[in-house]
Amino acid sequence: MDKIEQAKQKKQVKKRNRFIFRSAILVVLFGALLFAVVSNLTAEEEAAVDIKDQAPDFELNRIANNEDTVESSLQLSDLEGKGVMLNFWATYCEPCEREMPYMEELYPKYKEQGVEIVAVSVDATELVIDKFVDQYNLSFPILHDKNSQVLDAYGIRPLPTTYFIDENGVVVERVLGELSLERLEGYLQQIVPEGT
């Protein structure tokens, strides 16, 4: 076999290996894309708590913020008679970060009208939550779901997920993903208790 023939064979082997490598990458990328699409589609169906359901009660530790000097706990049933916006979030979630200033902006107005905003963080440590609360100067109650027990009880998949609960503890709306200021205010108006 002459050198030209050897070079041709080497080139063909390299070409075949490149094709196999590229095909493998494409298969992996397609698999990841398919998984993401299926996860998002089934997230809607797998929610444990849906519209018209009674919101399951829970109690979690509260992270101290501007209005409190010490940590305490908060139980959802303590808010009976009020509308409740229940937001599941984490500091590493960029859409969660973007909607927090909207929640803070609307909180004083709707608190006066009998609506409480409660944000449940699923971060692993309180330290990162503390930094986040300080950074955004958040004044509404922040709870820490350290072991994801409430997250699992509500069947939350994507973050953020937000429940809007009326004064009787019934879920009025469940929103998957980020809220704009306008959408958030529209949902808050739906849970203002009657007679306020």
Contacts of 142 (CB under 8 A, 6+ apart): 62, 63, 65, 119, 121, 129, 133
Cα(165)–Cα(80) distance, integer angstroms: 10
pLDDT in tens, 148-167: 999 999 999 899 999 999 99
Q: Residue 35 pLDDT more than 80?
A: no
What is the rounded average pLDDT of the residues 37-61? 78
Which fold, 53-190? Glutaredoxin (3.40.30)
Are residues 129 and 123 in contact, defined by beta-carbon separation less than 8 angstroms? yes
Confidence at residue 195, expressed as pLDDT on a 0 to 100 scale: 77
Confidence at residue 49, expressed as pLDDT on a 0 to 100 scale: 93
Cα(108)–Cα(28) distance, integer angstroms: 48
Phi-psi region of 123 (alpha: psi -120 to 50; beta: other; left: phi over 0): beta
Domain ranges of the chain: 1-44, 53-190
Binning pLDDT at 50, 70 and 90, where does residue 24 land? confident
Are residues 114 and 196 in contact, defined by beta-carbon separation less than 8 angstroms? yes
pTM for the complete prediction? 0.75
Q: In what order do the strands lie in the sheet with 161-165?
A: 72-75, 59-63, 142-144, 115-121, 83-89, 161-165, 171-176
